[in-house]
Amino acid sequence: MIIKMRAEATKDEIDHVVERIEECGYQAHVIRGTERTIIGAIGNHTHGNELEALRAARGVEEVIPILHPFKLVSRELRQFGTVVEVGKVRIGVGSQVVMAGPCSVESREQLMETALAVRAAGADMLRGGAYKPRTSPYDFQGLGVQALELLKEASDKTGLPIVTEIMSTDDVDVVAEYADMLQIGARNMQNFALLRRLARVNRPLLLKRGPWATIKEWLLAAEYLLNGGNHRVVLCERGIKSFETETRNTLDLSAVALVKELSHLPVIADPSHSTGRRSLVPAMSKAAFAAGADGLLIEVHPCPERALSDGPQSMDLPGFARLMADLGKTTPYQAAA
């Protein structure tokens, strides 16, 4: 339920409503706007009627049910878009943030060369996989802690915040120690034990959409994170399974536009995993921004043909620089660097 307070409601009246919500067994989420306070009552709807009775409480203007099954992520509760900060980078409300870097961290040379090049091209954040979810157990699985150390070193050198994937509840402490933002990969979107644990981590999260997941399931996965206490969540559309085999996945840009309507959370797009083809990344990057994406996640490798994972979809360094210039992300200073 949403309890909309009158513009002139006093602190005591607001406190009283919060107390009643908690007495009824719900969590109260107080959202103070410039004009009025809105209180979200979130929980099992066993006492719905008691909440409706709050219409009669002093200072209350309206009591409105939240229609969607997702509540805290819903725009019904928060009308204005959320901005998630990762270091100095602000994601949301039309930011055009670019996170770029290799699929996997493979060596110091590979990572440093990529980090310096993507920064020079105007990227805002560095991505790189330390723990890799691979379809086959015989494929490269990532360098683990060694990769985290290299990412930290690259971040210190370039000033770019790091985003990297977390695959297991066992690794939360170590990944959170090195990374500025933790990525929940597509395959783990409904790993509820991991979601519950990450809800308690003091780091912003990037939640990828599962390739099989509906928009509702994706937003409910995000609801786990907010409900557990972590409100710093960015969503990432990375392509869904369809009958098409020419592309690796099908980039669902209507989901980007729709999620912007349904939720206040920032949404970015991943043109690399969704297409699986380097040649399509520029067009899909522009399309994603046109659809309202707040950012992009792009795989970049100094020598894609030698990449240990996802070479065919990785941009080389000059290709990435051209794309960034095309997107208007490269400042004249950066272009000259």
- Which residues here bind ligand PEP, judged by CB under 6 A? 103, 129, 133, 185-187, 208, 238, 273
Partner interacting with residue 133 (select from ligand PEP, Mn ion, none; CB below 5-8 Å by kind)? ligand PEP
Stretch that binds Mn ion, among 102-110, 111-119, 220-228, 248-256 (CB under 5 A): 102-110
* Dist. CA 201–CA 34, nearest whole Å: 29
Nearer to ligand PEP, 36 or 134 (CB): 134
Please, what is the minimum distance in Å from the beta carbon of residue 163 to Mn ion?
A: 13
DSSP count for the chain of H helices, then E strands:
12, 14
- CA–CA–CA angle 76, 80, 85 (5° rounding): 120
The first and second tokens of residue 227, run together, are 């409900």
Please, what is the minimum distance in Å from the beta carbon of residue 178 to ligand PEP?
A: 17
Q: Return the residue nearest ligand PEP (CB atom).
A: 185
How many residues touch Mn ion (CB under 5 A)? 2
Partner interacting with residue 69 (select from ligand PEP, Mn ion, none; CB below 5-8 Å by kind)? none
* Dist. CA 61–CA 7, nearest whole Å: 9
Partner interacting with residue 185 (select from Mn ion, ligand PEP, none; CB below 5-8 Å by kind)? ligand PEP
Long-range CB contacts for residues 19-25, cutoff 8 Å, separation at least 24: 20/50, 20/54, 20/57, 21/51, 21/54, 24/50, 24/51
Instruction: Look up residue 12 and give its amino acid.
Output: D
Q: Is 310 in the site for Mn ion (CB under 5 A)?
A: yes
Nearer to ligand PEP, 1 or 219 (CB): 219
126: left (phi > 0), else alpha (psi -120 to 50), else beta? beta
Residues that bind Mn ion (CB under 5 A): 103, 310
